Amino acid sequence: MTILSRSPFLALKPAPVLSPPPAGKAHVVSGVIHRLLQGRWRGGERLTEEAVAKTFSVSRTPVREGLLELAALGMVQLRRNCGAVLQPFGPPQLLEIYAVRTLLEVEATRLAAGRIPTTLMDALRLDFERLRNENRPDEGWNLDQMLHTAIASHSGNSRLAQEINRYTLLVQTMREAAGKVLSGIQSTSIREHLEIIDCLAQGDAPAASAAMRSHLQQAERSALTAMASLSAGADDPS
């Protein structure tokens, strides 16, 4: 196994199916989600292509693409000759997101057990153990994304992988908006990821699926806490 010496983390390349959206489109998607989470925009408000393009300094093409992506995630509703209308985004919607994410990723984990190359599993384990032993955070949740991407891309189901990628981008944007609110769960997350890796490496599909389910349940609770903190900050007039 070869670990790149120039970086403390393994330089994993996601499968093509899991590649992120174009920069302009991603900017629109993340920007809208940030504003919803921070209470700057609220459900029921109308978005026009012109206004969104001006807000994010992009052309109308990435705006259209971004709104379509947001509509697929249930974040906006597209209306003919009316643009887009922001949908309510609170704890009930967050629970729905994690319910779907759990369905997708638990199945992907079951399918991926025994399929992920040993060298990849060993390298990921080494990087997560380094974080744990040095008591360091997973900066930008990079290793988290690498592991979840590896699982999805080795599930053998490209459509499943595409849907997981859609929700992974959403969750990552939510993490960025939450910022330091989620920093306290890093040690727990690293421990859970190591458990998932061990089960996958052993080819134990039931145990790996159960570990993933437990991990996502913890992530759901943390996301609800972060949302409550962000909402409290948005409502604070000081």
Q: Using one digit for the tens of pLDDT, what is the confidence trace for 177-235?
A: 776 666 667 888 999 999 999 999 999 999 999 999 999 999 999 888 888 877 775 55
154: three-class secondary structure by DSSP: coil
User: For residue 176, which amino acid is it?
Assistant: E
> What stretches of the chain show up as alpha helix (H) in DSSP?
23-37, 49-56, 60-72, 91-112, 118-134, 142-153, 158-178, 186-201, 205-235
Is residue 17 a contact partner of residue 158, using CB atoms and an 8 Å limit? Answer: yes
Domain boundaries, given as residue ranges, for the chain: 23-86, 91-235
Is residue 209 a contact partner of residue 110, using CB atoms and an 8 Å limit? Answer: yes
User: For residue 177, which amino acid is it?
Assistant: A
Rg (CA), the chain: 19
Is residue 186 a contact partner of residue 94, using CB atoms and an 8 Å limit? Answer: no
Closest CA to 61 of 19, 23, 30: 23
Residue range 6-20: average pLDDT? 43
Tell me the pLDDT tens digit for each residue of 67-102.
998 998 889 999 887 789 999 988 998 999 999 999
How many Å separate Cα 137 from the centre of its chain? 17
Q: Which CATH class is domain 91-235?
A: mainly alpha
Give the architecture-level CATH label for domain 23-86: Orthogonal Bundle (1.10)
